[in-house]
Chain A
């Protein structure tokens, strides 16, 4: 998994993009470069009696790598899901890639989602299908129909691009292996490859390192960070590993008591400080479950 591979892949992608599979989502107008990938204002969310956040404001700058930290139950996952409306919020406004997320209709929402890559804590692959087919599924952000369901039916350009994405995560040699037979770290990398297939402008990752061993977890984080950098994509991730938060981000935001309680450049904090205030150990102080 080298930088050259990533560059080869970008070439493959470019040539594929000139083919039939041009992105369908609206791109930001060239004359109006969005400064913020996302703007959140006055967000409030309740689950039953539990107020997750109340008046949360946050700007995510285009092209930055942002780490979100906080104890269990502070609403980090809910925040990421709310960005693409996998979860509805109760109040406030969310603007993502220039689109008013809460006002979009079904179609508009699908188009917006297609520009955003989402990596979950669990890799969420279809276990019975091959790694390559799972990556091909990523093309469903901009195409539909039987040719996007299985690698064996996919167009040659799509198969080529999918293989390039697998190569970028170092798994080209596992293309035809069933996803359920891959290790946790490999599965998570296939999920990253599927996300790459989307050619996302914004990458959202919710604890992509959580269910992996330290080496595999760091590898996935490094991969995401490098992809964000090389493609100019914005990266927003949640992690409970403070070293990852510091190493793989430009900026760190800490959530506590339903609001942003820390917002700092990653170079200006150290792991120990973060751990003391926002690590899992602080769960007791916020009265949350362990």
Chain B
């Protein structure tokens, strides 16, 4: 009876269109390497140079550590201010963007598009724009983080509200409650754990981005890092990198702890 079994082929016959697409993708990947010009000679020169720089970074210098820590603290405060502003503005925008809460489909899609635009333009680009608009320094950083937070929280707040159970909302609308009434009594309380989790993520994200905003002059410790590199103070630079690392880790751990506690 086993003789009637037909052994299936190991590979399917390639479909010519799929084959052509695979070929094109392969060619694109190869040309990507060629065009970015990363060659063996770069690697041959780069790896030892990297090693040399790392060597010069050690040991981290404690010179000016008090100024660095203050700057780090200021950077974190910039992140907090930006996140709080962003979260406060995200909430009404998210209501307008949420299915079934938005007053009109046109409003909903416009607000969604705006939020997506905020999210897709990278934070450094926003920072460049705000440095031009409000000048060098932390205010530009706060505004950048605010926009970045709206792009993220606006979307996730809206999704959290859409995922809440329709039942209690319908029960309130069946007794003639106003739209505001049902949003505040039913939708917000039900979405609250999700709001808190999203807000904590936003703070982590903002802490990470706040440390690089200084590179383009939007305030924060990034500028110290840039100056240290420009002056070849690699030992100070490594100190700055380490304190940034410590801050980000602390904020992420605290965020994870709070999320677990609150939900």
Contacts and interface: CB of A to CB of B under 8 A. Distances in A.
Interface of A: 84, 86, 109-114, 116-118, 120, 122, 124-129, 133, 137-138, 140-141, 144, 146, 148-150, 191, 194-195, 198
B176 A110 contact: yes
Interface string B157-201: 000000000011011111111101100111001101100000000
Contact of B172 (A109, A111, A137): A137
A118 B175 contact: yes
28 contacts: A84-B174, A86-B170, A110-B176, A113-B173, A113-B174, A118-B174, A124-B168, A124-B171, A125-B171, A126-B185, A126-B186, A126-B190, A128-B192, A128-B193, A137-B186, A138-B175, A140-B172, A140-B181, A140-B185, A141-B177, A144-B177, A144-B178, A144-B180, A146-B184, A148-B185, A149-B181, A149-B184, A198-B175
The 10 closest A-B pairs by CB, nearest first: A113-B176, A114-B176, A124-B167, A124-B171, A140-B177, A110-B176, A118-B174, A141-B175, A149-B184, A126-B168
Contacts of B174: 84, 86, 113, 116, 118
A234 to B, nearest CB: 16
A129 B170 contact: no
Contact of B168 (A86, A112, A116, A125): A125
Contacts of A120: 167, 170-171
A122 B167 CA distance: 8
Contacts, number: 74
B215 to A, nearest CB: 43
A287 to B, nearest CB: 29
Given A144-B178, A148-B181, A191-B171, 13 more contacts: A110-B178, A111-B176, A116-B175, A118-B171, A120-B167, A120-B171, A126-B186, A129-B185, A137-B186, A141-B176, A144-B180, A148-B185, A149-B181
A243 B61 CA distance: 85
Given A120-B167, A124-B167, A128-B189, A114 B180 contact: no
Given A120-B167, A124-B168, A113 B181 contact: no
Contacts of A140: 172, 175-178, 181, 185
Contact of A114 (B175, B184, B193): B175
Interface residues of B, number: 20
Contacts of B192: 128
A289 B1 CA distance: 46
A170 to B, nearest CB: 21
Nearest to A143: B181
Contacts of A148: 181, 185
A215 to B, nearest CB: 24
Contacts of A126: 168, 185-186, 189-190
B185 A127 contact: no
Contacts of A112: 176
A198 B190 CA distance: 22
A35 B79 CA distance: 66
B252 to A, nearest CB: 27
Contacts of B173: 86, 113
A144 B181 contact: yes
Contacts of A113: 173-176
Contacts of B190: 126-128
Given A112-B176, A114-B176, A198-B175, A137 B167 contact: no
